[in-house]
Amino acid sequence: MTRLLVCLAALAASANAVELTSLVNLFIGTFSSGNAFPGAAIPHAMAKVGIDVSTSPRQAGYLHDNSSITGISLMHDEGTGGNTDGGYGIFPLFPLTNCNFASCPVQIDARAALRASGADAAKPGYFTTTFVNNIQIETTSTRRSGLIRFTFPTTGPNHVVIDLTNDLGRSFSGGDLELTPTGRVTLGGTFLQSYGPSNYTVFACYDFTPPSTLAAQPISQFGTYQSTKLTNPTAVTITANSTTLNFPFTADVSPEQAGALISFTNAKSIVARFGVSFHNAEQACANAEAEVPDWDFDNIQSASEQAWETILSRVTIDTDVEDANVVELLYSSLYRASLVPANLTDENPYWESQYPFYDAFFCSWDTFRTVHPLLSILSPVEWSQIVNAYVDGWRNTGYIPECRANTKAGYVQGGSDGMIPLGDFAVKYGSQAEALGVPTDDLYQALVDTAENTPPDWYTVGRQNTAWKTFGYIPTDWVDPSGSTGLPTREASRAWEYALGDFAVRQAAIALNKPQSDVDKYANRSMNFVNMWDPNVTSDGFSGFAQRRYPNGTFAFSPPNACSPIDPVSHSCARGTDNDVGFYESSSWEYSFFAPHSMATLVELMGGPTTFVSRVDHYFAAPYYLAGNEPGFLMPWGYHYANRPDLSALRVRDVVYSFFSTAINGIPGNDDSGAMAALLTFHILGLYPVAASKQLLIGSPLLSAFTLRNDFLGTSTAFTVTGFDKNGLTGTPPAGAAVFVKSITINGNPSQSICWIDFDDVVGGGTVEIEVYGDATAAAAAGCGEGANALPDSLSTGGFS
Ligand X SMILES: *[C@@H]1O[C@H](CO)[C@@H](O)[C@H](O)[C@H]1NC(C)=O
| Binding footprint of ligand X on the chain (CB under 6 A) | 44, 66, 190, 197-199, 240-241, 249, 343, 345-346, 382, 385, 524, 527, 534-536, 550, 552, 554-555
Residue among 134, 94, 131, 139 at smallest CA distance from 115 = 131
Shortest separation between residue 66's beta carbon and ligand X, angstroms: 4
575 vs 597 by CB, closer to ligand X: 597
107 vs 385 by CB, closer to ligand X: 385
550 vs 657 by CB, closer to ligand X: 550
66 vs 516 by CB, closer to ligand X: 66
Shortest separation between residue 658's beta carbon and ligand X, angstroms: 25
Shortest separation between residue 115's beta carbon and ligand X, angstroms: 10
Coil, helix or strand at residue 98: coil
Helix (H) / strand (E) element for 376: namely helix 371-378
347 vs 417 by CB, closer to ligand X: 347
Shortest separation between residue 176's beta carbon and ligand X, angstroms: 13
345 vs 348 by CB, closer to ligand X: 345
Neighbouring-strand partners of residue 224: 239, 260
Contact 573, 626 (CB under 8 A): no
Shortest separation between residue 363's beta carbon and ligand X, angstroms: 18
11 vs 290 by CB, closer to ligand X: 290
Contact 774, 737 (CB under 8 A): yes
Shortest separation between residue 422's beta carbon and ligand X, angstroms: 18
Q: Name the phi and psi angles at 589, rounded to 5.
A: -55, -45
- Core vs surface per residue 733-748: b (16+ CB within 10 A) or e: beeebbbbbbebebee
42 vs 267 by CB, closer to ligand X: 42
Shortest separation between residue 345's beta carbon and ligand X, angstroms: 4
Distance separating alpha carbons of residues 67 and 70, to the nearest angstrom: 10
Residue among 135, 117, 138 at smallest CA distance from 126 = 138
DSSP state of 51: E
Shortest separation between residue 751's beta carbon and ligand X, angstroms: 30
Q: Which amino acid is at 443?
A: L
Q: Which residues, 6 or more positions from 71, have their beta carbon under 8 angstroms from its beta carbon?
A: 51, 52, 89, 92, 93, 94, 108, 111, 161, 163, 166
CA-based max dimension of the chain: 82
Contact 316, 709 (CB under 8 A): yes
Which DSSP string do the residues of 668-693 spell out, in sequence order?
SS--TTTHHHHHHHHHHHTEEEPTTS
Within 10 Å of residue 559's Cβ, how many Cβ atoms?
Answer: 18
Shortest separation between residue 735's beta carbon and ligand X, angstroms: 41
Shortest separation between residue 41's beta carbon and ligand X, angstroms: 12
Shortest separation between residue 349's beta carbon and ligand X, angstroms: 11
238 vs 737 by CB, closer to ligand X: 238
- Sheet arrangement for strand 756-758: 687-689, 695-698, 756-758
Coil, helix or strand at residue 166: coil
Cα–Cα–Cα angle for 611, 617, 622, nearest 5°? 120
Distance separating alpha carbons of residues 505 and 693, to the nearest angstrom: 11
Distance separating alpha carbons of residues 700 and 720, to the nearest angstrom: 10
197 vs 736 by CB, closer to ligand X: 197
Which DSSP string do the residues of 276-324 spell out, in sequence order?
EESS-HHHHHHHHHHHSTT--HHHHHHHHHHHHHHHHTTEE--TTTS-H
Shortest separation between residue 252's beta carbon and ligand X, angstroms: 11
Q: Which residues, 6 or more positions from 442, have their beta carbon under 8 angstroms from its beta carbon?
A: 391, 394, 395
